[in-house]
Amino acid sequence: MSRKHDVNKEIENEVYCGTLPVLPKERKYGFIDALLVLSGYCIATWSYTQGSYLATLVGFKQLLIGAFLAAIFMLMVYQLPVIMSVRYGIDIWIWLRSVFGPKGNKIVTIIIILVNFPWYAVCCELFADSMENLLGLFGIQLFNGAHLILSLSCVVIGTIIALRGVGTITWTTRILVPLLLLVGVAVVVVGFTSVPMDVIWNYQPELAGDADKTVNYVLNIEANFAFVITLVGGMAEVPRLAKSEKSGYYAGVLGQGAAGSFFVVVGAVMAIAMRYVTGQMVDDPTLMMATLSAPILGLSSLLLVAFANIGTQAVGSYIYGVMLKSTFKKISYKTLVLVLGVYVALLCVWGKITEYFGSFLTIGACVYAPLAALLFVDFFLIRKQKLDLKSAYELPGHNAYRYSKGFNIVGIICLALGFCFTLVIYDPIKGIVHNKLLFMLTPTLASFIFTGVLYLLLSKIPGIRRYIRRDTYASPDKRPFDRAKVPPRQNIFFLPLMWLLCKMAVSPYKLKIDKHNMEGIKPPFLVYGSHNSFMDFYVTPLALNPYRANYISELEGFENFGEWIYRQAGCLGTRKFINDQSLIRNIARVIKRGDIMVIYPEARYANVGTNSHLTPSIAKLAKMLKVPVVTLNMQGNYLQQPIWNLKERKGARLHADLKCVVTADEIDKLSVDEILGRISRELTYDEYKYQLENKIVINDEWRAEGLHYPLYKCRKCGKDFAMTSSGSKITCKYCGDSYEMDELGQLHSSSGEVIHIPDWYEWQRGFVHEEIREGRYKLDIPVRVEALPNAVNFVDCGIGRLIQDNEGFSLEFDNYRTEKHEILKFPAKSMVSLHTEYDYRGKFGPCVTLSTYDDTFFIYPTEESRDVFNPTKIQFATEFLGGLYS
Amino acid sequence: MDNDKEIESRIDQVLQAEKENQIPRMTKRDYIIAAVITVIALLGIIGGFFL
């Protein structure tokens, strides 16, 4: 077996094992172990560069605050998500797939390497500087270009070591960390003993004439924020090996914030001491020791620093090579390490990385700050500390993080905007402050806050929330909706916008509103409206203009459009067909404060454009409230968008009648039956009759598609669930009996028979009633169940069973609240009807819903029950068993 | 495919370990201490403006 094969195999193994979730029993690190490992990673010769850079900005005391407090402050915040790494034994690169999508994550990985790898060019520069300086001390002058050759040699040797694989790197690390510690100790001793203590303590930099002390202090804080934040990439793989969340977290904080910062301060001390002695700031420990102690010490330290720089370069190539390999599995490790080597070499050829150290640090932070903010917000506030690991690992059948072809557009946009936001505040290349107010927060912190808030706000928009939270089943919000919450009045500022939106929605359909008996009728009053389609919610506000109103809405609408918007629109959330006393109290509140209360008493869209039976409870409510009763009968809304096919029909024409049917004087005098009679009379409608009488032409070629949902029984062969529809036809799949829907909404058989759609619909109902009376009716099918506990998300309740018989419903499902497979009973007499959907939200297919006070269960057929699951038939049975047709 | 099985098995074990709290969680007290340290650090940074 060749050496090359060994290395490749080792790396494959490293990549494979390096990405697997680490089990609790495999954890290696307690707090001290993790601290030592992370400290080792943070200590490198670039710490001296950072220290000497800080010493050019601020005095020693401010430098100490920056190095320790700023570092610890930033680490305390951005290391918090590390607890996820510990909890699940995974590194952040796996988790980032949920934030950016698997393909988006690849791009982010490349960006991170592009902004991070210049650190290693700094090492190579330091190596070349050390060599040059020391040879200079011995009087050896190098030729032009020797500096570049020396720095490139560091790249080459480091790359060769990295190519040799895991074993060599392990040994390199074992030697490297003690060496660096040794150099550090030597620097501290020499630095503090060669100049008086007060020189260092009272040090102040010589600032250029136009330099602003405050700006420099902020830059000092910024440099430390950036310094610690840009190291997260390399440190990401350690916390998953920690044995407790606390140890992983604090090891990260103190590894960088204490050990790493100490070496930064050491670098500053060295630079200050050298300036005191020679008048020049240097970041080269070799030169310092040779100058401040003895050349022999400088020579010794040369060997240490030389090896340390080469070792750091090698370890960096290895870590990032493995990281790239885990992202780009098809490219060989060797190729990836060589690409990294070429990148560093190019930076060395450019030769200005040390000069632009502060710039590159801030540019790195420009990427890392939004990245860290996204991690923080995503973990704590959006996913609530739960990740769908199987989707993160892209296991077959687990696609929650695929998003848009592998990219989470929202995460990527937030990252890009966060990056741009930093540049709006500060130009890191030219060092120009664009916005001093935000600059005082530091570009890194401002970008962190901006990106975090942006991501959080975007996640509150329902459509975006559903997009980024496709894994809600992993950590659903289970808090029940607060039905008792007092509904706000319709937002007065929101109202003109709402009217405008409504006007725009109805304008293609030429809405005409007629008002009857409405003279002198002012709020408060009660409105009962017909319910045909979503268009009702556009027509009603226009009919009630100029008054504002409150509306009762099923909770599902809150989830779909967002609770905030629904509240502003004046909606009261409830669940259908439950005895909701909180709702009654809220209705009374609305009336008491002098507003209009709009109720759609059928509580469901008309299946075929005809009204449902109304119950006496609506008349009782009117009597209880003692306010005028107004009806709103809307025509054309069903024709425009019937529930069985949600495509809009442009030919539809809308008309609405707003009529006061009971005045305030009459409300006490009339009986419940009389009130109900008046309301029912005004809310009787037949959309197809309206279409025919008004000759409303709807000529869309697909006008009958979906009609088989309400018309499920074949008129000829009598089979249930026999109908299919296509174009303008509805056909029996068994006997072939077919009907053409004309442009005025009537059905024509091949024999010339003309069918009024509601007649067919009601004809079916009779059969269901007969089945129940004869004791033949029973539904017993497997179903897929989702619960809607609140306005935030659905909760997957697995595969269950739905039984409907004369007793009512029995629903067997995985109860997410008790985490048990349970059966819920819904007695037949407790429900007068049922909410049905034929194609929920135009993509989820047919379903029915059953509600408790705290949950609405959306019940879908499984593959097995798809052919026998018809919401219309289930609704017919529910209404009969519930007494609506008794 | 074998890799997938191995990952799936490990994920199940990790989730089980999470349920059983095999990896000690950060407690409320730990979070409070972290918050206090953060605030102290922030106050120190603000104080630095006056030096």
Contacts of B32 in chain A (CB under 8 A): none
Q: List phi, psi (to 5°) of A747.
A: -100, 140
* Residues A586, A580: Cα–Cα separation, whole Å: 10
Is the CB of residue B4 less than 8 Å away from at least one CB of chain A? Answer: yes
- The candidate with the shortest Cα–Cα distance to A524, out of A430, A452, A631, A598, is A598
Q: Return the residue of A nearest to B33 by Cα.
A: A76
Contacts of A244 in chain B (CB under 8 A): 23-24
Is the CB of residue B24 less than 8 Å away from at least one CB of chain A? Answer: yes
For chain A, which residues score pLDDT lower than 70?
1-18, 41, 166, 170, 208-210, 232-237, 294-298, 301-302, 886
Q: How far is CA B39 from CA A32, A46, A223, in A?
A: 25, 29, 20
Q: Return the residue of B nearest to A59 by Cα.
A: B51
Q: List phi, psi (to 5°) of A95.
A: -65, -35
Sheet holding A729-732, edge to edge: A723-726, A729-732, A738-741, A747-749, A754-755
- Which residues partner with A788 through β-bridges? A856
* Residues A76, A782: Cα–Cα separation, whole Å: 50
Is the CB of residue B44 less than 8 Å away from at least one CB of chain A? Answer: yes
Q: How far is CA A120 from CA A319, A340, A342, in A?
A: 12, 10, 12
Is the CB of residue B46 less than 8 Å away from at least one CB of chain A? Answer: no
Say if the Cβ atoms of B48 and A243 lie within 8 Å.
Answer: no
Say if the Cβ atoms of A16 and B26 lie within 8 Å.
Answer: no
Cβ partners under 8 Å of residue A176, min gap 6: A40, A307, A308, A311, A312, A315
Residue A343 sits in the same domain as residue A264 = yes
A515-527 burial: b if 16+ Cβ within 10 Å, else e: eeeeeebebbbbb
Amino acid, res. A266: V
pLDDT given for residue A63 in this prediction? 95
Nearest to B34 among A66, A76, A86 (CB): A76
Looking at A649-695, list the stretches that DSSP marks H as alpha helix, in order from N- to C-terminal side.
664-667, 672-682, 687-693
Q: List phi, psi (to 5°) of A403.
A: 50, -125
- The answer to the question of residue A538 being in a domain is yes
Residue A684 sits in the same domain as residue A719 = no
Contacts of B30 in chain A (CB under 8 A): 245-246, 249
Q: Which two tokens stand for residue A769?
A: 């009633």
Say if the Cβ atoms of B26 and A249 lie within 8 Å.
Answer: yes
Cβ partners under 8 Å of residue A18, min gap 6: A91, A237, A322, A326
Give A348→chain B minimum CA distance, Å: 35
Say if the Cβ atoms of B3 and A86 lie within 8 Å.
Answer: no
A763, containing H or E segment: helix A757-773
pLDDT given for residue B4 in this prediction? 82
- The answer to the question of residue A489 being in a domain is no
* Contact indicator for A761, A644 with CB cutoff of 8 Å: no
Half-sphere exposure of A397 (CA within 13 A, CB side): 4
Contacts of B18 in chain A (CB under 8 A): 87-88
Residue A612 sits in the same domain as residue A716 = no
Residue A604 sits in the same domain as residue A557 = yes
Say if the Cβ atoms of B23 and A389 lie within 8 Å.
Answer: no
Cβ partners under 8 Å of residue A751, min gap 6: none
DSSP code for A206 = -
Contacts of A24 in chain B (CB under 8 A): 14, 17, 22-23
Residue A731 sits in the same domain as residue A791 = no
Q: Domain span at residue A867?
A: 777-881
A127, containing H or E segment: helix A118-137
Q: List phi, psi (to 5°) of A612.
A: -95, 165
* Residues A653, A644: Cα–Cα separation, whole Å: 19
Nearest to B23 among A77, A217, A244 (CB): A244
Say if the Cβ atoms of B14 and A21 lie within 8 Å.
Answer: yes
Amino acid, res. A260: G
Is the CB of residue B12 less than 8 Å away from at least one CB of chain A? Answer: no
Q: Which two tokens stand for residue A481?
A: 């909706």
Nearest to A395 among B7, B15, B22 (CB): B7
Nearest to A70 among B4, B11, B45 (CB): B45
* Residues A78, A447: Cα–Cα separation, whole Å: 13
Residue A354 sits in the same domain as residue A284 = yes
CB atoms within 10 A of CB A785: 25
Tokens 């699951």 -> residue: A869
Contacts of B4 in chain A (CB under 8 A): 395-396
Give A246→chain B minimum CA distance, Å: 6
Global ipTM = 0.93
Residue A83 sits in the same domain as residue A19 = yes
Residue A595 sits in the same domain as residue A672 = yes
pLDDT given for residue A417 in this prediction? 96
* Residues A820, A138: Cα–Cα separation, whole Å: 80
Residue A321 sits in the same domain as residue A189 = yes
* Residues A305, A283: Cα–Cα separation, whole Å: 12
**What is the pairing mode between strands A525-529 and A629-635?**
parallel
Mutation site for A-interface testing, chosen from B3, B6, B11 by largest number of A Cβ within 10 Å: B11
Contacts of B45 in chain A (CB under 8 A): 65-66, 69-70, 73, 221
- The answer to the question of residue A476 being in a domain is no
Q: List phi, psi (to 5°) of A439.
A: -60, -30
pLDDT given for residue A259 in this prediction? 83
Nearest to A23 among B10, B24, B48 (CB): B10
Q: Return the residue of A nearest to B34 by Cα.
A: A76
pLDDT per position as a tens digit, B1-51: 567 888 889 999 998 998 888 889 999 999 999 999 999 999 999 999 988
- The candidate with the shortest Cα–Cα distance to A321, out of A331, A333, A309, is A333
- Which residues partner with A433 through β-bridges? A426
- Angle at Cα A232 formed by Cα A228 and Cα A234, nearest 5°? 120
Say if the Cβ atoms of A87 and B22 lie within 8 Å.
Answer: no
Amino acid, res. A798: G
* Residues A114, A344: Cα–Cα separation, whole Å: 10
Chain A: residues touching B (Cβ < 8 Å): 16, 20-21, 23-24, 27, 59, 61-62, 65-66, 69-70, 72-73, 76-77, 80, 83, 86-89, 214, 217, 221, 243-246, 249, 389-390, 393, 395-396
pLDDT given for residue B1 in this prediction? 53
Q: Which two tokens stand for residue A527?
A: 């409105």
User: Omega of the bond prior to A524 within 30 degrees of 0, cis?
Assistant: yes
Contacts of A387 in chain B (CB under 8 A): none
Say if the Cβ atoms of A73 and B41 lie within 8 Å.
Answer: yes
- Domain count along chain A: 4
Q: Return the residue of A nearest to B10 by Cα.
A: A21
Residue A712 sits in the same domain as residue A689 = no
pLDDT given for residue A7 in this prediction? 62
* Contact indicator for A669, A675 with CB cutoff of 8 Å: no
- The candidate with the shortest Cα–Cα distance to A530, out of A440, A460, A635, A629, is A635
Global pTM reads 0.77
Mutation site for A-interface testing, chosen from B45, B46, B49, B51 by largest number of A Cβ within 10 Å: B45
- The answer to the question of residue A246 being in a domain is yes
- The answer to the question of residue A409 being in a domain is yes
Nearest to A214 among B3, B14, B49 (CB): B49
- The domain that holds A870 is classified in CATH as 2.30.29
- Which residues partner with A552 through β-bridges? A572
Residue A64 sits in the same domain as residue A109 = yes
Contacts of A62 in chain B (CB under 8 A): 48, 51
Domain ranges of chain B: 25-51
* Contact indicator for A450, A377 with CB cutoff of 8 Å: no
Say if the Cβ atoms of A62 and B48 lie within 8 Å.
Answer: yes
Cβ partners under 8 Å of residue A189, min gap 6: none
* Residues A739, A747: Cα–Cα separation, whole Å: 6
* Contact indicator for A685, A753 with CB cutoff of 8 Å: no
Give B10→chain A minimum CA distance, Å: 6
* Residues A658, A633: Cα–Cα separation, whole Å: 7
Give B7→chain A minimum CA distance, Å: 6
Residue A90 sits in the same domain as residue A229 = yes
- The domain that holds A93 is classified in CATH as 1.10.4160.10
* Residues A84, A121: Cα–Cα separation, whole Å: 32
